[in-house]
Amino acid sequence: MERLGFIDEHHMFREAFRTFVEREMVPNRDKWEAAGIVDRELFAAAGSAGFLAMAVPETMGGAGVKDFRYNQIVAEEITRGDVYPAGLGMTLHTDVCLPYFLDYCTEEQQQRWLPGIASGELITALGMTEPGIGSDLASMTTTAVRDGDTYVINGSKTFITNGILADLVIVACKTDPSERHKGMSLVVVEAGMEGFERGRNLDKVGMHSQDTAELFFNDVRVPVENRIGDEGQGFVLLVKNLPQERLSIAVAGVAHARAALSWTIEYCNERTAFGQKIGSFQNSRFKLAEMETEITIAETFIDRCVTALNKDELTADEAAMAKWWCTELQKKVVDQCVQLHGGYGYMNEYPVGRAYADARITSIYGGTTEIMKEIIGRSMGF
């Protein structure tokens, strides 16, 4: 079935990025998985090739293309190439962090940061989650106390993607601790600032080549000019950005499911049992048919959501639908693909085995499935 919204330029971009994945990422996958982190040079290589932060204006080193279809292609190709964890930092950098710098920063801030973000010299991260608060962002305890022309930041964050590599961390903090949502602001903490410390690179069940860290702020003095937006506007900006963040996760989820299915179809056409190919058994055909159908339906909805996002029409509840459905489908499909592989599916040398561990987190980060259903339910008037 022809995909909605893709034109010749998108197909050319896909071929170019697929070549980049095969040349720059696939050969390094095992090394990065063992190290628990990718090389910084990956971001520089992607930036040099024009595959990073594509929406940054040409005058600041980007491609000047605000079309999320290109972001979608990046996610689809890193999953196809079995380098999903290694590519997650790039999608977070481009899909999740970039909009804060592109849409809410002053011209001076953009001149200071956007060229490095586009080139890959400045790697970005978003610091929202804290130990013990989960999805309850209004309960965060990280504070930024005004002292003249600086903020003094104290607190900690956890589960921060790109936490080890990041040069710029957008930190959600309380500039007015007496308030909940209205007391939150966003302040960019830069690598090397005194009192900013990174904890351990967290030992995760999956997503091994993606660095995920604890961050600590001990009397970190940050210039007020590093604040994004107005004081007290942090929660509003986070909420505005969440639909794109959740769509990004949904895109990767369904793409990962598609990749797992393709590996499984190949396996079922090669592996034999009882004198015939595994795929020729009725149960196998039914399972493969079910997955093909469900993935195709999800892709159709995702393509529609990307079209809506490009028109600034994607709603919070639509993004929530995409996020919970596609990540739950991702887990379901990968689990069934492991089953069809049999014992080999549980081996790390097979991509479907690695996918099994990598897929489990996606229905948790970016807002749990339960939170997504709550958003949808409230949009229905309940």
Residues serving a catalytic function are 245
Sign for the CA dihedral angle at 155, 87, 326, 208 comes to negative
Sign for the CA dihedral angle at 91, 331, 316, 168 comes to negative
Count the residues in the chain: 382
User: Judging by DSSP bridges, how do beta strands 212-223 and 168-174 pair with one another?
Assistant: unpaired
Sign for the CA dihedral angle at 291, 296, 298, 302 comes to positive
247 vs 340: CA distance, rounded Å: 29
Measured torsion, CA atoms of residues 198, 41, 159, 116, in degrees rounded to the nearest 10 = 80
268 vs 255: CA distance, rounded Å: 20
* Phi and psi based region of residue 194 (left: phi greater than 0; alpha: psi -120 to 50; beta: remaining): beta
DSSP annotation string for 191-208: TT-TTEEEEEE---SS-T
Please give the structure tokens belonging to residue 268. 């079922």
